[in-house]
Amino acid sequence: MSVRIKLLAFLLTALVNVSAEADVLKPVDSTLSDYAALLRAAGYELYSFDISDLIDNQYTITVTVREYEGDSLINDNVSGWPRAFSNRTMLSEFSEEDRNSIKREDIYDAEKGIYTAEEKINIGFLPKADNINGGKNICVLVNLPQMGDTQIQLDLHPIFFSGNPTPIYRYSTRPFATTQWKENEFTPLVLLGSAWYDQKFNVLRFCGESEIAPDLSSDILKDTPHFYVIGATVTKQEN
């Protein structure tokens, strides 16, 4: 075999090996975004809101859920007992002995005397928000990472329509459009609304705006027969 033929054979073998290496399927580590997509596919939803603008003052944040049928408010506090959180903890709330034991790196703002401060509020829905044939309630989780959390169970209303004797429970969520906090006033954050039956096309719908107007003027609210508004009221604490 000539040197030229040997060289060509070597090059062909190398190309085959490179191609084989390129086609190898290797496992890789899953990322947080991969897990987030998986949870969304299972119906878990999470909305986060920035409340860092409140840090300069001491506030009580009270979470409330309002319930509507059509355009009528039927319950202004489904959440029951007060679900209230403080937006920060001051060093002055501790005894001198306890303050001396706190590490400086654990303090949010030593100059302002703020031990911990809350920068966001999370509102999550679990389990799946698309409940069919038996999903009669849904759990709302309200979480302030530095201050704690609370769970609120909400009852879902069934959808009935001609030709389907089995009740269907199908709810979807929408955030409210950006607005400003107003002290002592309820601020809507997230909508949980029922789908409705479209007789013309024989389908269940939850179509409309991707964000809901804070004054509840959005078209989607003219069609959904039952919905909840999860929101909060901020009240300034007296020093």
Which one is predicted more confidently, 191 or 2? 191
At residue 129 the predicted structure's pLDDT band, cuts being 50, 70 and 90, is: very low
Residue 25's pLDDT is what?
81
Residue 2's pLDDT is what?
59
Average model confidence (pLDDT) for the chain? 87
Percent of the chain with pLDDT over 90: 62
CA–CA separation, 129 and 140 (whole Å): 10
DSSP annotation of 91 reads G
- 86-124 tens-digit pLDDT: 999 999 999 999 999 999 999 999 999 999 999 999 999
Would you say residue 19 has pLDDT above 60?
Answer: no
CA–CA separation, 192 and 163 (whole Å): 26
Percent of the chain with pLDDT over 70: 86
- 37-81 tens-digit pLDDT: 888 777 789 999 999 999 999 999 999 999 999 989 999 999 988
At residue 132 the predicted structure's pLDDT band, cuts being 50, 70 and 90, is: very low
Cβ atoms 61, 144 nearer than 8 A: yes
What is the β-pairing status of strands 186-194 and 171-175? antiparallel
* Residue-range domain boundaries for the chain: 45-236
Q: Which tokens is 170 given?
A: 């199908």
Residue 113's pLDDT is what?
95
Please confirm whether the linkage preceding 127 is cis (ω < 30° from 0).
Answer: yes
Cβ neighbour number for residue 175 with a 10 Å cutoff = 17
Long-range contacts at 206-209 (CB < 8 A, ≥ 24 apart): 206/170, 206/171, 206/172, 209/174
